[in-house]
Structure 1
Amino acid sequence: MIVMFRASDDPTSFHGLFATHPRLTDLALAPDGTRLIASVQIINDQGTGYVSRLCEVDPSGERESRPVTRSVQGDFAPAFAADGTLLFLSGRENTDPAAKESESQGVGLWALPEGGEARQIALHPGDISAFAVAKDARTVAYMADLRPGAVTAEAYADLRRERESVMVNAILYEVTTTCAFGAGLGPDEPHTFVQHADGAPVNAGSQGLAGTGDMALSPDGTLVAYTRAATGRAPDTNVVVVADAATGVERHTFSRPGQQYYRLAFTADGSALVCQRQQEETYATAWRVTLVAFDLASGEETDLLPEFDNWPWPGRAVLSPIRGDATLWFTGDERGHCPIFRRDADGMITRLTASGAYASLCVSPDGTTLYALRSTIDSPPRVVRLDAVTADQQTAFLKALGDLDPLPGTLAEVHVEAEDGFPLRAWLVLPEGASAERPAPLIIAPHGGPQMSWSAWTWLWNLWPFVARGYAVLLPDPALSTGYGQRMQERGRGQYGGQPYRDLIALTDAALARDDLDATRTGLAGWSYGGYLANRAATLTDRFKAIITHAGMWNLEAFQIDTNMHAYFRRIFGDPRTQRERYEANSPHFHAAKVTTPILIVHGGKDHRVPMGQALSLYSDLQRLGAQVSFLHFPDEGHAIGAPNHIRLMYETVLNFLDHHVLGQEWRRPAMLA
């Protein structure tokens, strides 16, 4: 399909429109199936951040969506209690006269009955970060922090006040990590609390300092499951704990060496627990993810996808709401899409959707209908309804915020065979007007990960601002990409800069064989692992006119020491003192003197995944060697650029850099950087 950018619009301002567009993030379906709630991120009044709001979506698709009555900006993470009450997290003010002053502060758990007023049902010093609901009981579990010296919320609050009063923010790390998920960690430890009806919360157990926030309640609310973080001695292993929800006493624990468990869910009868099991990559073994079930009576663990070679990285399993029915649904990457799959009780797997990328699945009470967020490379997430059984069906779009029309380009695919015979593919987006007579300049944009795929809309490093400026964009899926079977992982195992780089170049050559692309005007731009491939390319070829590297690795030896995923990367590359050859084969910094292409570095000062030292090392190396290099530094951003004003500034700088070096235009320094 060709979509046209209106002639009356200014294409150079597309990234401004993009940064301010509403973003659908979550769905929640009421127990009786009559209410569907979407969480939407909108820009704040200052244009410097996003706030969440809750919207009511008509499940039948007849009525337009509308804000949830008596919901306010800042409400997020919707879910429904067993009686149909809408629950959510919010930092809104507690106006209940009976509430203590301290109870009005921070992110708490709120209940909003249909036709009633919102009331706060749980609060914890330092915020509640996530919660889960029992399907058939008035029980909730939530995650909140305690400190090592505190066993209750009250003691934790006292410790916080004492430290704040004397202005101490020091942290003593002993057996735990210093950062996780791209953020630095304080002295707090995540704990799982369970609250029955209006009773006092029960501390069900610690998740450890780097707890993932995974938790689930059995349908009757008697059991709570959560993951306990690994100790420093077993960083590649975590533990699934099933505890008594009333006392916190552990009933079952499950673990397996070298495996991590995520995204827990109880079956409708409470007899089993289903979750992801992830074997992380090492130099000798490839990354593998599956879904498993723990039988709570026998303790047996069963792989639910033993023969499934899509290598989809299955998302959270959505289980049948019907007691005794073992059907489940999940999503996973497949050749540039992320379909919904159905697994029947006999293990048979059916793909329900042929195109698009799906997330936030919800199933109706009778198990016949699914609701989800659907996106594509050329469409932001939208709310859809589909049949829970039929293979390769078309979905019905419901009326909700999220669409971004029109988009200024045409979506196509590129296919080529790698030198080892493996079939490769990529998305290609052509700007309006590209033709043999007017070939478009091309930007190659490798994805992050590396275990990812270009299958869905992304708000981070989105391709459409480039297309609006007149560039074609190639989105390659090289070795280590998901959705192409286990062989795709084996091809790239242990060689970040080897087969993935060769695949990227093969797809680039295949794209440039088209007569509507200009092989003399090309650039490369990547984020995270894509930034690493950009750095790698800069040391191996001079074919690109410009390279942009955002949060990319440069010196792998220093990186694996500093990153918050130190243990993971050490398993891949080994000890640099004894496996020097692995670092010399993959680390771009060894070949800094070969860089001749102008480079723009983008990096956040609070990035713990790829720490700032990588950008500083790259910048200083290239400056010392006389290469053309610029550095766009965002001191308060992390691994991703998240603030809307920073997003606009990043695109303006990146696009002006490409215009200058790829198109030969005069350099225009963004006004906010003057």
Structure 2
Amino acid sequence: MTMATPDDPSFSDLPSFTRATRITGVSGSRSGTVIATLRHVDEAGAAFIDRLVSVEAPGRSGEPAASSSLTGGASATLLAVGERGEVYFTRKDPSAEEKGDAVWMLPPRGEAREILRHRGGAESLAAAGGRLVLVLGLAPGADTAEDSDARLKARSDAKVSAVLHDDYPIRYWDHDLGPARRRLFTAPLPDLTGVDDAPLPLTPVDLPEAPAGVDQWDLGDVLPAPDGSLAVIAMKARTRIDTTSQTWAVTLNGSGGPRLLAADPAADMTPLAVSPDGTWALVDRELPPLPGQAAEDTLWRVDLATGERTRVASTFDDAVSEVAIGDDQSVWFCAPRRGRGGVYRAEADGTATLVTPDDECAYSSLTWSGGRLVALRSSIAQAPQVVFLDPGPADRRQAAVTGVPGLAPDLELPGELTEVAAQAQDGTPLRAWLALPDAEGPHPLVVFAHGGPWGTWNDWTWRWSPWPFVARGYAVLLPDPGISLGYGRAMTARGHDAIGDAPVSDIMALADAAVARPDIDASRQGFAGGSYGGYLANWTAGHAGTRFRCVVTHAGLWDVGAMATTTDNGSWYRWMTAPVDGGAPQARQWSPHRAAADIRVPMLVIHGDRDYRVPFAQALELWADLQRLSPQLGHRFLSFPDEGHWILKPGNAQVWYETFLAFLDTHLQGRVFDRPDLLG
């Protein structure tokens, strides 16, 4: 990105920034069809709409990539790209409540048409081997989609919203879980011409029986083999509130029953991809966080005939995220890398080769299409763009990366990005990004603590972008402390059993290094964070005295014990409440609410009422403690009744930034609080 002039409106104009067009995803088929998702606001500027765009890869001889819009009007969500170049998607439909949700197909030539309507919704769809593989939500007791539709229609007609639960959890992320349960079906591919417009005949697929002692048994991800003969699926097994995933193979052509491929009572075994020849799959083995056991994931190759497992990239010492399998059976994956990211090729000897060594970016949405890799690439300083990666010969150590310009507007930065280094108390080297205004300092400093807790500041974010703050004159520190990704497993384990210890002291060491610079004003510091970063903000508020003039906490953990029993993620309960090395649990040692009486600076509390990961009650308890113990400090509470863990609606995002900045301006710049116009 180029540098902005001081009057550039890209980041100083918050209504424009929070409504900027953005690329949110990319996917492709092996045949070469690539579809990107562009998010933009509606005519009123009040809601986001997603449209699908076809992206043609650049030619091998150097001609640029091209793109064309496939959908317009109503918001569309991509489900799959078919073998014949057809595109399957759902689209927001005003009649959905009356008739159910619809699946649409856009053929390579012609108009899109509805191919399926179902009240329980299409959870996922894939096209493989001449058939569709669908996951649909069915009402309890229903054996067919038709029976389910009738039951759900009766429920809707009676205006019944109640759900009698016997499963766990009863809500997830930002929505209540309804009565529908996931079921697997196949159907023939729809006619491309539209001549045969009969309803799709759905054939149910037999799923594995629940193992003995399991309290709940649910279908997870479904990955069909390219020839359509079988699907590799995840089955989620819950015992009490602990859940693990198993990987199974189920036949789609009636030639045999389900077969267990990978299970581990101590870990999740989740399928990620099936090989082009349909003989093996990539499976992620993820250890949950427990006292004395840091979260860890490793990549395994599982033979679909024998179940034999082989570790992939066994010497790779960090988290592996998204994967892709090449036409030649090569394995590729994305991973964080010291505040950056990269695409890696897994080698036969257990090593991994970084094929994107020369950029400052991170990669996501990795897929293989048309003989090359496709991904989204972004950085702290660059919004996501679609890129094609040509791996070339097997012995090439660097992929040729080509971007697709013009899909979304470029944004000019109002400052520059540099790095800060420090040393932890135990000698571990630390680093952080520092975003600086394009103006003479010294600048007030705001520290942004990342969430996760397994996270890193290495890619673009619209929700916690440092650049609107830089445009207002603030320097923003983006530290990666202990428990961060991209620095090896030893770094991820630092702070695991003491979430308020090493991560906090690491951030303070990096903040000390930042304020030692002549362009930073050490007397004007603020601290902010969301989710686990909100936990760190809450902990800092009660333990850092007046070092920071103010603290902003978004969706932050306040009472760790209460959080462990009310979150939608039951696997955290033992981690937070079990004794650590025979001593007190983290809920007792490292809960911020125990230092409520020691808070000496004003706090801005932000929370969404539909946040089921860090429940809204965490903010209510914090707010009550602040008003009970230190109301004279001038605390404020910004709540969003219709948002979850993330603030996603454009108007609410604008208010989020405006309130955050007004609070900083008051306490770091000495200005009168400027109440945002859209606040009631």
Report the TM-score, using the length of structure 2 for normalisation: 0.91
Residue 402, structure 1, aligned to residue 408, structure 2: yes
1:449 paired residue among 421, 442, 452: 452
Q: State the partner residue of 2:325.
A: 319
The answer as to whether partners of 2:391 and 2:398 remain within 8 angstroms in 1 is no
Residue 217, structure 1, aligned to residue 224, structure 2: yes
Aligned AA for 1:606? R
Quote the Cα distance in structure 1 between the aligned partners of 2:258 and 2:415: 56
1:42 paired residue among 24, 40, 43: 40
Q: State the partner residue of 1:375.
A: 378
Q: State the partner residue of 1:96.
A: none
Q: State the partner residue of 2:202.
A: 201
1:593–1:212 CA distance, 2 compared to 1 (3 A): farther
The answer as to whether partners of 2:529 and 2:554 remain within 8 angstroms in 1 is yes
Q: State the partner residue of 1:356.
A: 361
SS at match of 1:645: helix
String of CA shifts for 1:156-194, please: whole Å, max 9, x gaps. 112212222322222222243212234321222222322
2:268 paired residue among 224, 240, 260: 260
Residue 458, structure 1, aligned to residue 461, structure 2: yes
Post-superposition offset of 1:387: 2.4
The answer as to whether partners of 1:266 and 1:272 remain within 8 angstroms in 2 is yes
Q: State the partner residue of 1:76.
A: 77
The answer as to whether partners of 2:561 and 2:588 remain within 8 angstroms in 1 is no
Q: 1:224-623 alignment to 2 at 5 Å?
A: 224-233=231-240, 235-247=242-254, 249-309=257-317, 311-312=318-319, 314-322=320-328, 325=329, 327-354=330-357, 355-366=360-371, 369-389=372-392, 390-392=396-398, 395-434=401-440, 438-541=441-544, 542-574=546-578, 580-623=584-627
Residue 167, structure 1, aligned to residue 159, structure 2: yes
String of CA shifts for 1:243-289, please: whole Å, max 9, x gaps. 11134942335311121133531111111121222111111111111
Post-superposition offset of 1:79: 3.2
The answer as to whether partners of 1:147 and 1:156 remain within 8 angstroms in 2 is yes
Quote the Cα distance in structure 2 between the aligned partners of 1:132 and 1:215: 9
Report the TM-score, using the length of structure 1 for normalisation: 0.91
Quote the Cα distance in structure 1 between the aligned partners of 2:295 and 2:425: 23
Structure 1 stretch displaced more, 203-212 or 630-639: 203-212
1:552–1:166 CA distance, 2 compared to 1 (3 A): same
Structure 1 stretch displaced more, 8-17 or 371-380: 8-17
Structure 1 stretch displaced more, 371-380 or 399-408: 399-408
Post-superposition offset of 1:336: 0.6
Post-superposition offset of 1:301: 2.1
Post-superposition offset of 1:601: 0.4
Quote the Cα distance in structure 2 between the aligned partners of 1:103 and 1:641: 25
Quote the Cα distance in structure 2 between the aligned partners of 1:671 and 1:210: 49
Quote the Cα distance in structure 1 between the aligned partners of 2:521 and 2:420: 16
SS at match of 1:395: strand
Q: State the partner residue of 2:671.
A: 665
The answer as to whether partners of 2:430 and 2:481 remain within 8 angstroms in 1 is yes
Quote the Cα distance in structure 2 between the aligned partners of 1:269 and 1:474: 47
String of CA shifts for 1:530-587, please: whole Å, max 9, x gaps. 00000000011120111100000000111111111133243343279x9645323200
Quote the Cα distance in structure 1 between the aligned partners of 2:596 and 2:423: 30
The answer as to whether partners of 2:291 and 2:579 remain within 8 angstroms in 1 is no
Q: State the partner residue of 2:195.
A: none
1:185 paired residue among 149, 170, 177: 177
Post-superposition offset of 1:426: 0.6
The answer as to whether partners of 2:531 and 2:556 remain within 8 angstroms in 1 is yes
Quote the Cα distance in structure 1 between the aligned partners of 2:77 and 2:162: 31
Quote the Cα distance in structure 1 between the aligned partners of 2:557 and 2:376: 32
Name the count of aligned residue pairs: 652
% same residue: 36
Q: State the partner residue of 2:652.
A: 646
Structure 1 stretch displaced more, 504-513 or 241-250: 241-250
The answer as to whether partners of 2:302 and 2:308 remain within 8 angstroms in 1 is yes
String of CA shifts for 1:379-399, please: whole Å, max 9, x gaps. 110111222254355622223
Aligned AA for 2:139? R
Post-superposition offset of 1:462: 1.6
SS at match of 2:44: coil
SS at match of 1:657: helix
Aligned AA for 1:316? E
Aligned AA for 2:31? D
Residue 632, structure 1, aligned to residue 633, structure 2: no
Q: 1:113-128 alignment to 2 at 5 Å?
A: 113-128=107-122
Q: State the partner residue of 2:147.
A: 155
Post-superposition offset of 1:71: 5.6
Structure 1 stretch displaced more, 376-385 or 300-309: 300-309
Quote the Cα distance in structure 2 between the aligned partners of 1:112 and 1:71: 13
The answer as to whether partners of 2:46 and 2:650 remain within 8 angstroms in 1 is yes
1:158–1:439 CA distance, 2 compared to 1 (3 A): same
SS at match of 2:291: coil
1:593–1:41 CA distance, 2 compared to 1 (3 A): same
Q: Which runs of structure 1 show a deviation greater than 4 angstroms over 4 or more consecutive aligned residues?
A: 61-66, 69-72, 101-106, 205-213, 578-581
String of CA shifts for 1:384-438, please: whole Å, max 9, x gaps. 122225435562222342343211110101111111011111111001114xxx2
Aligned AA for 2:672? E
Quote the Cα distance in structure 2 between the aligned partners of 1:21 and 1:460: 12
Q: State the partner residue of 2:197.
A: none
Q: State the partner residue of 1:98.
A: none
SS at match of 1:511: helix
Q: State the partner residue of 1:109.
A: 103
SS at match of 1:449: coil
1:656 paired residue among 640, 658, 662: 662
Post-superposition offset of 1:448: 0.4
Aligned AA for 2:332? W
Consecutive unaligned residues in structure 1, runs of 5 or more: 94-100
Consecutive unaligned residues in structure 2, runs of 5 or more: 191-199, 211-215
Q: State the partner residue of 1:97.
A: none
Structure 1 stretch displaced more, 122-131 or 663-672: 122-131
Quote the Cα distance in structure 2 between the aligned partners of 1:498 and 1:612: 25
1:339–1:599 CA distance, 2 compared to 1 (3 A): same
String of CA shifts for 1:31-69, please: whole Å, max 9, x gaps. 432x43211111122322211111122311746754434
Aligned AA for 2:44? Q
Aligned AA for 1:270? G
